[in-house]
A and B are shown apart, each in its own frame.
Chain A
Amino acid sequence: MADLPPPSGSPEPAARRGLLPAGVTTPADLARLLEAAGYLPDAGVATAAYLALALPRPLLLEGEAGVGKTALAHALARVLGAELLRLQCYEGIDASQALYDWDFPRQLLHLRAAEAAGGADADVLEAEVYSRRFLLARPLLAALETSPSVLLVDEVDRADDEFEAFLLEVLSDYTVTVPELGTVRAEVPPVVLVTSNRTREVHDALKRRCLYHWVEHPDFAREVAIVRRRVPEASAQLVAQVAGAAQALREQDLLKPPGVAESIDWAQALVALGAARLDADTATATLGAVLKYREDQERVRLDVAQLVARAVTR
């Protein structure tokens, strides 16, 4: 039925497209679904995710650590009911860790077993040894074979340049060729999210293929909503104070300003201590949940009272 053209005069003819879930025709629809999945996107993130699904195109996310780049991939996977396949990049990553590898020990065992069972035909044996069951699918191949799936290529800037070129090859036509086995093609292309921390410039060729979005820290109201959602046992007052203090900390000249992830940690730490509201003592005691540099901690500790006051008056 899906192949039939929509009847003329339908309210939303060409609207559902790409990998969008049924019923989603605007970024706001997708935002509602993401909210239900526990992720509160702003207009930019919602639009970026909507386009990534509608076009469909890989989405390159950049932003400070802890603004929710990886969390978006998890939420999208939940919304789509898809499996999340994560490829964590690191220096020196290569095809056998990202794409596929042959399971050599099992192949060898198979050969030995066949030999022990009595002379098998060499051609048959070879075909058996290089069959799908001895192929270990790494995240990229697994994403092509799984449908639906969300592929998260995390911290692509940590990998080498050569790896980017290789990634580009896979992302351009969603096929992987295993010489001994043939070509694996994705029936439905996976939703691809690529994150980068900008430790180096990602190559233009990769950027050109992707949508680009810079993820900002959330504003006060959104941060309150996010922390409330993630730490439901915290009181409304505590959450508002934590979010206010985090916003104030971001305005200060710190080595590592806290992200939303740190606000959530902080709220959890305060709840664990049984604090109903933020005051100078509890703030000092739990500062290690938000600030991870000694210099930053010392600087803020000098003026915790003011920080708390700013958080309250916000």
Chain B
Amino acid sequence: MSPPVPRRVPLVAPGASDAPPYDAVDSLVGLARTLRAAGTPVSPERVQAAVVAAAALHPGSREDLYWAGRLTLCASPDDLARYDRVFAAYFGDRPAALVRRPRVVRPGLRLAPGAAGEPGGDGDGEPDGVAAASSVEQLRHKDVARMTPDERAELGRLLALLRLPGEPRRVRRRTPAPRGPVDAHRTLRGWLAAGGEPARLHRERPSTRPRRVVLLVDVSGSMDPYADALLRFAHAASGRGRAGPPCEVFVLGTRMTRVTREMAHRDPDAALAAVAEACPDAGGGTRLGGLLKEFLDRWGARGLARGAVVVVLSDGWERADPQLLGEQTARLARLASRVVWCNPRKAAPGYAPLAGGMAAALPHVDDFVEGHSLAAYERLALVVRGWERAGPRHA
């Protein structure tokens, strides 16, 4: 009773335990390498698991080989379609049409700002190194869209210092406190230590954790002058080494892309390069309503936006029907703890949120803040933290 031997997969019959090491190893390792080239992070442990899994199944069958690989080499729904494609290509069904793995461009040496030989863009450029403090103060309030390259570089450094913790909320956990309800466990433990003698009463109070922060960054054509600064802000906000859940970042171009993983690079330039590779669609037109719906369907409604502080960084420029944007913002507001809309155009003199999309979304927005300068981003961080409020009616 020998198994059917498929083409290209030289295999031994199951049960020949003292046979030479499993021959499908070559095939699986090759498959894993191809997957890795296609962008799935396949670790050696996973490859090993795939080989063990294949050996546990009927190793001659192509279907079993497929499942052995799929169950061990994939780790998310995004991996599955890629796996199917790679599997078919690797075992010769269809010509390979593989997506290259996003490459991280690590910056090498960079020219020092000011040495680039670029003339200062506008007349008020100051000599280097002079009155640094006051220039930082000026920079804080300057519109990002009107900055010179040098100023942008400085802005990038200042933005990297920002943090964006969410508003604290009470959780089920309790922490010891000088007053509050009695902590039965700790009290009893204390009594046990004292041999059963009633000793001191320990007390507790509910502890707090920051809410999750979700950033939706609009990188469509109309947001072009601000996209770089906003992405750097998002990178600083998603910085690691803080308590609480990490900040989630999504980019809205012509499609919606989750870039939280790309943002995890420590170096802002490397992170931004990775983001640019992950969503090559920046600069196109905007269908904000449709993208917001996609975000809510795929991520928000499942729980990502539930109880979170959701920050939309956008000018609210909507090409399609503004009514959809209104509906979806309302849906978002019902899920999220708070919706903060940060609009870089808000600071412009004479601006009123009358443009279709913004007007439709505004009734469902809890806080409406400016987003054109460093000072505005600092204020945004305070609003997200809950230390300042900026309801649309205060505008």
Please give the residue numbers on chain A whose beta carbons come within 8 Å of chain B beta carbons, in ascending order.
Answer: 10-15, 17-18, 26-27, 43-44, 47-48, 50-51, 54-55, 57, 62, 90-92, 94, 104-105, 107-108, 111-112, 115, 122, 129, 157-158, 160-161, 197-201, 204, 207-208, 211-214, 255-256
Contact = CB atoms under 8 A, between A and B. Distances in A.
B56 A55 contact: yes
Given A104-B188, A197-B303, 14 more contacts: A15-B15, A62-B77, A92-B173, A104-B184, A104-B185, A107-B192, A108-B191, A108-B192, A111-B192, A161-B245, A199-B304, A201-B261, A208-B46, A214-B77
A176 B229 CA distance: 49
8 contacts: A27-B57, A48-B67, A91-B171, A111-B195, A111-B196, A204-B75, A208-B43, A213-B71
A47 B57 contact: yes
B63 interface: yes
A200 B304 contact: yes
Contact of B56 (A10, A51, A90, A255): A51
B320 interface: no
Contacts of A13: 15, 17
B172 A91 contact: yes
B192 A214 contact: no
Nearest to B171: A92
B77 to A, nearest CB: 5
B53 A55 contact: yes
Contacts of B74: 212, 214
Given A15-B14, A208-B43, A48 B71 contact: yes
Interface string B71-102: 11011110010000000000000000000000
Contacts of A129: 192
B189 A55 contact: no
Contacts of A10: 15
A158 B76 CA distance: 17
A200 B67 contact: no
Nearest to B296: A255
Interface in B162-176: 171-173
B56 A17 contact: yes
Contacts of B110: none
A92 B172 contact: yes
Contact of B188 (A18, A90, A92, A108): A108
A255 B297 contact: yes
A48 B57 CA distance: 11
Interface residues of B, number: 46
Contacts of A255: 297, 301
Most chain A CB within 10 A, of B63, B77, B196, B297, is at: B196
B302 interface: yes
Contacts of B277: none
Nearest to B54: A51
Contacts of A207: 75
Contacts of B245: 160-161, 200
Interface in B285-306: 297, 301-304, 306
Nearest to B196: A111
A14 B302 contact: no
B334 to A, nearest CB: 11
Contacts of A54: 56-57
B17 A199 contact: no
B115 interface: no
A254 B139 CA distance: 47
Interface string B303-336: 1101000000000000000000000000000000
Contacts of B297: 255
A157 to B, nearest CB: 7
B109 interface: no
B172 A214 contact: no
Contacts of B301: 255-256
Contact of B63 (A43, A91, A94): A43
A157 B185 contact: no
Nearest to A256: B301
Interface string B6-45: 0000000011010000000000000000000000010101
4 tightest CB-CB pairs across the interface, nearest first?
Answer: A199-B303, A104-B188, A111-B196, A47-B67
Contacts of A43: 63, 67
Contact of A197 (B46, B76, B302): B302
Interface string B171-205: 11100000000001100110110011000000000
A14 B17 contact: yes
A112 B71 contact: no
A12 B188 contact: no
B223 interface: no
A214 B80 contact: yes
Given A11-B1, A104-B192, A199-B302, A26 B58 contact: yes
B1 A212 contact: no
Contacts of A104: 184-185, 188-189, 192
B49 interface: yes
B75 A108 contact: no
A48 B53 CA distance: 10
B52 interface: yes
Contacts of A122: 195
A100 B1 CA distance: 50
Contacts of B173: 92, 94
A13 B78 CA distance: 38
A255 B184 CA distance: 44
B5 to A, nearest CB: 17
Nearest to A207: B75
Given A13-B15, A51-B53, A94-B173, A212 B71 contact: yes
A211 B301 CA distance: 26
B281 interface: no
B150 interface: no
B64 interface: yes
B376 interface: no
A65 to B, nearest CB: 9
Contacts of A111: 192, 195-196
A204 B40 CA distance: 12
B185 A115 contact: no
A14 B15 contact: yes
B68 interface: yes
A214 to B, nearest CB: 5
A28 B257 CA distance: 39
A17 B125 CA distance: 75
Contact of B53 (A105, A208, A211): A211
